[in-house]
């Protein structure tokens, strides 16, 4: 394998780069922005994402940076009454006999996690992260069995250079140049006919509103805050699913690199991960959006959602012997399933 180009230095792109570089694969991360994302947003990571953070080896660094894991999570009615509650399970540990126990939710602002990922990548000799590199085109060469990107570097005007590798992975978000090269102006999926509106409002006299908000938690900041979501944001499953996406892709690419799998595993990856998004992420967030929380069966399915995000692609390796990467695989079902079943 010549190497892998990853377009986008967000959490998913950097996490994928860390997995691949630690497996000895040459990785080049190209980011259009001139510096890392410093916005303190996307603070909560679901159990399936925490599993990826754990097996990537950065969960301990996140804890040192100030991350915390809530002791419990609850769903409440508008009057504050608890509809359902899920206590945090004990951490996975084969020694304590609870290796099948899922991780809980972990909280740390995205910008701090990006710092940790960049630090970890800096220690990998096979990893290179470049900022100020805007990808303007993507393609492949059938004769050389390679993929390529055309890159415009910050300060070079519109002059582009071509970078080649065995694979190109698009992790460049809502305005993805990789996606644009694949689909043009069309965009697979559908658009809600309902508006979700976030409005930036400037308060000139904050003190005048303090009395009205005396009994609730609120945040007023002079800067503009915004979030554009191509994935339905109701439930916060977009980033979590993205991190699980790259965890599975890493297993596939590492398997190809080590001769444990053929490129056919990428077709399996496409089928499985696309199905998980459509059936789980889109399904759960749609239920959240439609507010059908009074139905206990649907609420149970919402709770099961994060556990359904994972899929072990190492099972498709040509050899079924357990590898180091497989030994980290944790079945995130038991406690969630018990709590969900109690609702029905």
pTM for the whole structure: 0.72
105/308 Cα distance (integer angstroms): 15
HSE, side-chain direction, 13 A CA sphere, residue 254: 22
Q: Residue 184 — left, alpha, or beta (φ > 0 → left; ψ -120 to 50 → alpha)?
A: left
Domains and CATH numbers, the chain: 1-40+109-185 (3.50.50.60)
- Alpha helices by DSSP H, 98-237: 110-122, 177-183, 207-210
Cβ pair 108, 70 in contact under 8 A: no
pLDDT by 10s per residue, the chain, length 344: 789 999 999 999 999 999 999 999 999 999 999 999 887 677 778 788 888 999 999 998 988 887 777 677 777 887 888 888 877 666 655 444 444 555 677 888 888 999 999 999 999 999 999 999 999 999 988 888 899 999 999 887 778 899 999 999 999 887 788 888 887 777 777 776 666 665 556 666 656 666 665 555 555 554 444 444 577 666 667 788 889 999 999 999 999 999 999 999 999 999 999 888 888 877 777 777 665 445 566 556 655 655 667 788 999 998 766 555 444 444 444 555 555 555 55
Cβ pair 124, 130 in contact under 8 A: no
């Amino acid at each position: 394998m010549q190497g892998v180009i990853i377009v986008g230095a967000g959490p998913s792109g950097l996490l994928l780069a860390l997995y691949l570089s630690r497996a000895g694969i040459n990785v080049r991360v190209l980011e259009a922005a001139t510096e890392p994302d410093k916005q303190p947003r996307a603070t909560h990571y679901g159990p399936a994402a925490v599993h990826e953070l754990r097996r990537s080896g950065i969960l301990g660094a996140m804890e040192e940076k100030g991350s915390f894991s809530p002791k419990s999570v609850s769903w409440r009615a508008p009057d504050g009454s608890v509809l359902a509650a899920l206590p945090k399970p004990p951490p996975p540990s084969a020694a304590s006999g609870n290796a099948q126990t899922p991780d809980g939710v972990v909280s740390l602002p995205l910008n701090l996690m990006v710092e940790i990922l960049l630090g970890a990548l800096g220690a990998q000799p096979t990893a290179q992260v470049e900022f100020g590199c805007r990808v303007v085109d993507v393609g492949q060469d059938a004769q050389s069995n390679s993929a390529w990107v055309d890159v415009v570097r910050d300060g070079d005007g519109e002059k582009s250079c071509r970078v080649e590798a065995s694979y190109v992975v698009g992790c460049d978000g809502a305005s993805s140049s990789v996606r644009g090269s694949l689909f043009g102006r069309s965009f697979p999926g559908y658009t809600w006919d309902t508006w979700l509106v976030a409005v930036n409002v400037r308060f000139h006299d904050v003190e005048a509103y303090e009395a009205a908000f005396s009994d609730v938690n609120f945040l007023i900041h002079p800067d503009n805050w915004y979030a554009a979501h191509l994935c339905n944001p109701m439930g916060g499953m977009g980033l979590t699913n993205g991190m699980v996406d790259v965890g599975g892709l890493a297993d596939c690419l590492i398997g190809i690199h080590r001769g444990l799998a053929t490129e056919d595993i990428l077709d399996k990856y496409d089928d499985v991960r696309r199905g998980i998004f459509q059936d789980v992420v889109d399904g759960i967030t749609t239920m959240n959006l439609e507010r059908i929380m009074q139905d206990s069966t649907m609420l149970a399915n919402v709770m099961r959602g994060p556990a359904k995000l994972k899929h072990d692609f190492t099972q498709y390796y040509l050899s079924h012997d357990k590898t180091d990467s497989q030994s980290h695989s944790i079945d995130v079902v038991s406690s969630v399933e018990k709590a969900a079943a109690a609702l029905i």
